[in-house]
Structure 1
Amino acid sequence: MEFFTAPPPRERKPEKREKRSPWIGPPEDFVGAAIPLDLALFHSETLAIVLTDALVFPEGVRLNVRMAARRSEEIDDETWWDRHERLFTFHGRHRSSLDEGIRLGVRFSDGSKATTVDGALDHTGDGPPPRPDGPVLHCRRSGSSSGSDDFLSAHWPLWLWPLPPPEPFEFAVEWPLFEAPLTFTEVDGAPIAAAAERAHPYWP
């Protein structure tokens, strides 16, 4: 007689997969078209923020922002480690306050704008947030961060919806905690719009 016997098989009910709304993030069944950008959003002796590249989809674009900070002799231990902590806790459920966190945004030629702090996707009801009235810019996941006693770095993947028009638009950054004032950088929307034609599904 066997001592160990397998339990009876569990009945598995098929799960219905809801299609992701385009303002929430890129379609999961598409291959995005990558384009380099390499735009310095802010640069000082101690801080650099760069818009490195984009992954373009038919209805939106993922913008990759990278940041690096180095410690100067004027920054004491308390200030440095406070910045270190804020960098690691900026995103997610316990996001830092507006005064402490980095602020990122875009502004189109018609005056419409979207920022990472405007709460465009805030929603308390069941199901996904309803279709926003205007453009949306948000960090889809927490990104990645690393740091030591004299250097910090971070990567933030941002989702911009809808796809920007094929004309220049502005990318804004501001981070008082790291002494970065409000700074605008022009981004050419034409290559982004053109790249959307190269995005394609995994399976035709």
Structure 2
Amino acid sequence: MDFFTAPPAPDREPEEEKTLPPWLGPPDTVLGRTVDISRTLFHSEALVIVLTSAVAFPEGAKLYIRMAARPVEGVNKDTWWERRDLMFERRHRRFHPGTSLEDEVLRFGVRFPDGGKATTVDGRPHYGGEWPPPRPDGPILQERGGGGGGGGDHFISFGWNLWLWPLPPAEPFEFAVEWPAFDVPLTFTEIDGAAIAAASEHARPYWP
């Protein structure tokens, strides 16, 4: 006779499956098509920021950012370690809507030819518990996580994943970056939207 037995399964109704709307993130069951971009967004002796690639889906795209930094002559050790901590602490997320952005806040953004724009500091739309959440009026650019590593005193790197909705138009659009704490002024780089739009046509579901 068994002394230890597992409890019976709870008697409950199965939860309704919720499909994530495309403006909140990429579809879970679709394999996107990768597009090589390799555009340098900012370059100095101390810091490099590159938009390396995109993964295109039918209604949006994941954008991959890579950043590398190193100490340079004229920057003292304390400043270097402050910047190193800033990159790893991800303080670019710590801001309060309605207030001025601090220099430590890292900002990414896009601007489409029709004037529509989206940035990572716009804040998340509030849905009030409604499901499915209402479709936003304009484009959205949201951070989707990241990570990195480095060589201690001599080199650090970090990567960010962003979700852009909707797909950019099949024409050039602008990608913006600004980070005053790292002496990065507001800088715009032209990106080929046609390549991303074309790649989205090759995205396919994992199961037909």
Structure-1-length-normalised TM-score: 0.90
Q: Distance in 1 between matches of 2:125 and 2:110?
A: 18
Could you say which residue in structure 1 is the equivalent of 2:94? Answer: 96
Could you say which residue in structure 1 is the equivalent of 2:72? Answer: 72
Please say if residues 89 and 96 of structure 1, whose CA atoms lie closer than 8 Å, have aligned partners that are also in contact. no
Q: Quick one: structure 1 residues 84 and 122, their matched pair in 2 at CA, closer, same or farther if it must change by over 3 Å?
A: farther
Cα deviations by residue, 1:63-115 (Å, 9 ceiling, x for unpaired): 10100000113222321222122212226xx9234321211101011111111
Q: Distance in 1 between matches of 2:72 and 2:105?
A: 20
**Residue identity opposite 1:170 in structure 2:** E
Could you say which residue in structure 2 is the equivalent of 1:8? Answer: 7
Q: Quick one: structure 1 residues 149 and 96, their matched pair in 2 at CA, closer, same or farther if it must change by over 3 Å?
A: farther
The offset of 1:127, in angstroms, is 4.8
The offset of 1:41, in angstroms, is 0.5
Q: Say whether residues 1:173 and 2:171 are aligned partners.
A: no
Secondary structure of the corresponding residue to residue 4 of structure 2? coil
Matching of residues 48-127 of structure 1 within 5 Å: 48-90=48-90, 95-97=93-95, 98=101, 99-119=103-123, 121-123=124-126, 125-127=128-130
Secondary structure of the corresponding residue to residue 78 of structure 2? helix
Secondary structure of the corresponding residue to residue 49 of structure 2? strand
Secondary structure of the corresponding residue to residue 23 of structure 1? helix
Bigger mean CA offset, 147-156 vs 174-183: 147-156
Q: Say whether residues 1:133 and 2:131 are aligned partners.
A: no
Could you say which residue in structure 2 is the equivalent of 1:38? Answer: 38
Could you say which residue in structure 2 is the equivalent of 1:18? Answer: 18
Q: Distance in 1 between matches of 2:77 and 2:94?
A: 20
The offset of 1:166, in angstroms, is 0.3
C-alpha RMSD of matched pairs (Å) = 1.9
Q: Say whether residues 1:162 and 2:166 are aligned partners.
A: yes
Q: Distance in 2 between matches of 1:189 and 1:80?
A: 36
Bigger mean CA offset, 146-155 vs 176-185: 146-155
**Residue identity opposite 1:191 in structure 2:** A
Secondary structure of the corresponding residue to residue 118 of structure 2? strand
Q: Distance in 2 between matches of 1:83 and 1:17?
A: 43
> Which 5+ residue runs of structure 1 have no aligned equivalent?
none
* Consecutive aligned runs of 4 or more in structure 1 exceeding 4 Å deviation: none
Please say if residues 127 and 134 of structure 2, whose CA atoms lie closer than 8 Å, have aligned partners that are also in contact. no
The offset of 1:189, in angstroms, is 0.7
Please say if residues 46 and 69 of structure 2, whose CA atoms lie closer than 8 Å, have aligned partners that are also in contact. yes
The offset of 1:39, in angstroms, is 0.4
Secondary structure of the corresponding residue to residue 198 of structure 1? coil
The offset of 1:124, in angstroms, is 6.8
Secondary structure of the corresponding residue to residue 55 of structure 2? strand
Determine what percentage of the aligned residue pairs are the same residue.
57
Matching of residues 192-203 of structure 1 within 5 Å: 192-203=196-207
Q: Distance in 1 between matches of 2:166 and 2:27?
A: 13
> Which 5+ residue runs of structure 2 have no aligned equivalent?
96-100
Alignment coverage as a number of residue pairs: 199
Q: Quick one: structure 1 residues 130 and 89, their matched pair in 2 at CA, closer, same or farther if it must change by over 3 Å?
A: farther
